[in-house]
């Protein structure tokens, strides 16, 4: 199984005791890439440092709605130019906890959505009880590439997100007994979803109450596979390809590239050559 962890917070203090060892363990198992997510100044800078240190870790930078009052546009502009930064996020709206005023959340989200367009970067969206507001701001900013991380909407909102050309991402919450995402999972196109852990948060069953890590990502794939009546390998592969394409992961200096596009080009080249020889 090939896995792509699209949303981790490995820079947080929960991982201080064993961060490097854990990352090494991830890359020695089924994890091939990790996107470490920034959500304020400190975590954006820390995510970039982590990405510089580990070959297959990449960063995102942004200000979460909880940290909207500390927004620093110049910092995001500077970090967005870094080669190890692959997206703006996590950004969005949170009308559940309301740790920042509504108006500030909206203004900061819109500002960062426009920055993502300006710097040609995809957006990682935090959306909690703010479905239509998030949708409206992304559309107004003309964001083409967005993923709704830890998707929490119903099937109607999922259809709206997919119709806009965006992606949805699933966490360990799909394994919870009270999950209401089965219908969304059944209807999602196989080229428009990703999987994540959001570690150290949201550990999947049977690890609830413990620290989450990318090592539990396979449980998300397995649950989705069960719901879709597919194999875990099939789900993991679709999620991997979707994430690789969405984040525009740069060519790997270590591993050979085996992408479908290059195979297609080679096939066309061989056909042309055989045509000329005939």
Distance CA 89, CA 115 (A): 11
- Of 266, 247, 216, 267, the C-alpha closest to 51 is 247
Spell out the residues 6+ positions from residue 132 whose beta carbon is closer than 8 angstroms to its own.
none
33 φ, ψ to 5°?
-140, 150
- Of 221, 242, 237, the C-alpha closest to 175 is 221
Distance CA 128, CA 98 (A): 10
Question: What three-state secondary structure class fits 43?
Answer: helix
**Domain segments of the chain as ranges:** 3-277
Q: Residues 98, 130: contact at Cβ < 8 Å?
A: no
Which pLDDT score, from 0 to 100, does residue 257 have? 54
pLDDT tens by residue, 116-157:
999 999 999 999 999 999 999 999 999 999 999 999 999 999
Q: Which residue has the tokens 């999947």?
A: 204
Write out the CATH class of domain 3-277: alpha beta
Q: What is the pLDDT along the chain (278 residues), one digit of tens a residue?
A: 999 999 999 999 999 999 999 999 999 999 999 999 999 999 999 999 999 999 999 999 999 999 999 999 999 999 999 999 999 999 999 998 889 999 999 999 999 999 999 999 999 999 999 999 999 999 999 999 999 999 999 999 999 999 999 999 999 999 999 999 999 999 999 999 999 999 999 999 999 999 999 999 999 999 999 999 999 999 999 999 999 999 999 998 776 654 444 444 444 434 443 443 33
257 φ, ψ to 5°?
-90, 130
pLDDT tens by residue, 147-181:
999 999 999 999 999 999 999 999 999 999 999 99
């Amino acid at each position: 199984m090939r896995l792509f962890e699209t949303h981790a917070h490995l820079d947080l203090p929960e991982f201080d005791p064993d961060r490097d060892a854990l990352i090494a363990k991830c890359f020695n198992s089924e994890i091939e890439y990790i996107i470490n997510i920034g959500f304020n100044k400190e975590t954006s800078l820390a995510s970039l440092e982590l990405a510089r240190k580990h070959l297959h870790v990449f960063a995102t930078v942004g200000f979460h709605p909880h940290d909207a009052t500390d927004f620093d546009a110049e910092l995001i502009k500077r970090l967005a130019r870094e080669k190890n930064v692959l997206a703006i996020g996590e950004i969005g709206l949170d009308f559940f906890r309301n740790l920042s005023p509504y108006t500030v959340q909206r203004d900061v989200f819109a500002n960062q959505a426009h920055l993502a367009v300006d710097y040609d970067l995809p957006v990682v969206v935090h959306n909690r009880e703010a479905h239509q507001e998030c949708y409206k701001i992304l559309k107004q900013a003309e964001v083409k590439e967005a993923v709704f991380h830890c998707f929490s909407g119903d099937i109607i909102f999922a259809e709206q997100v997919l119709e806009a050309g965006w992606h949805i991402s699933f966490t360990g919450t799909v394994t919870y007994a009270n999950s209401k995402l089965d219908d969304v999972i059944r209807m999602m196109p196989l080229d428009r979803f990703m999987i994540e852990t959001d570690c150290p948060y949201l550990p999947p069953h049977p690890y609830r109450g413990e620290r989450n890590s990318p090592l539990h990502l396979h449980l998300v794939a397995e649950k989705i596979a069960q719901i879709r009546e597919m194999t875990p390998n099939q789900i993991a592969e679709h999620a991997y390809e979707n994430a690789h394409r969405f984040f525009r992961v740069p060519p790997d200096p270590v591993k050979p590239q085996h992408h479908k596009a290059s195979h297609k080009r080679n096939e066309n080249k061989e056909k042309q050559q055989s045509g000329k020889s005939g």
